[in-house]
Amino acid sequence: PTAEGWTADLAGRHVVVSAGGTREPLDPVRFLGNRSSGRQGYALARTAAARGARVTLLSANAELPDPAGVDVVRVESAAELHRAARAAAEDAHAVVMAAAVADFRPATYASGKIKKVAGQEPAPIALVRNPDILADLAAHRARADQVVVGFAAETDDVLANGRAKLASKGCDLLVVNEVGNGKAFGTGENEAVVLGADGSETPVPFGPKEALADIVWDLVRARLR
Ligand code: CTP
Ligand code: CA
């Protein structure tokens, strides 16, 4: 057991975790972004390192200190995260996509700052879809035994939506949070259910993001060869 009381059950493993939220540039000074704090991804990186893993943390705009003993790669946009994730996944035993990836980006990037024009309303901003990084990683695994994990925030029929999303992404595990009612965003605590492609369902009681992270690594560990 380590000082934290955990055995180093991820020793010799390389895990990749994405965290934060992507920013999609519009011009040199503006972007479309989201409110993801990065805390869940950082908790995953810290707990994996504490359990002996080599950890690559792909950090999308999180304003959090680098966790000790973790390789931090800073990215901005979904396109940058996609490239970094593909490269880091090359020799990874597990990839966990905890980042909030923008579904859309501005169709064009203005290389000069967009200016107001006197007496004119602004032009609408056209958007195009970003690639689905999680689905791409799951479909093109660098190793046959790689474990791929996604996160989803859902409302309404949370479990049915989660099952459908797990299947469409092709990942092994999907951590599903219920949002609304003051849950999940920007807090230190989380409540979730982890769905497995094998049909398993692991409820995670409301508690610190570290506790959810440790359950995710338990489930990943059980799927590693
Ligand atoms: N994700 C991704 N690339 C995207 C969008 C999402 O890798 N372009 C990942 C997220 O990191 C997360 C998982 O997919 O692990 C689920 O994200 P979510 O936004 O819930 O899924 P979407 O497929 O975008 O569905 P929705 O239309 O509900 O937003
Ligand atoms: Ca989405």
d(CA 188, CA 24): 26
Q: Tokens representing 142?
A: 């660098």
Residue among 160, 155, 161, 163 nearest 185 (CA): 155
Residue 25 near residue 79, CB atoms below 8 Å: no
Confidence class for position 191, pLDDT limits 50, 70, 90: confident
d(CA 196, CA 206): 20
Output phi, psi for 56, to 5 deg. -110, 120
181 has a pLDDT exceeding 70: no
Confidence class for position 185, pLDDT limits 50, 70, 90: low
> How high is the mean pLDDT of the chain?
94
Contacts of 213 (CB under 8 A, 6+ apart): 40, 43, 44, 46, 47, 48
Q: Identify the pLDDT of residue 203.
A: 96
Strands of the sheet with 14-20, listed across from one edge = 71-75, 54-60, 14-20, 94-97, 147-154, 173-178, 189-196, 201-208
Active site residue 34: yes
- C-beta 24 within 6 A of ligand 1: no
> Is 14-105+126-223 CATH 3.40.50.10300?
yes
Q: Name residues with Cβ closer than 5 Å to ligand 2, which is an ion.
A: 103
- Domain ranges for the chain: 14-105+126-223
Please give the distance, rounded to the nearest whole angstrom, from the Cα atom of residue 150 to the centre of ligand 1: 8
Q: Which residue has the higher pLDDT, 106 or 188?
A: 106
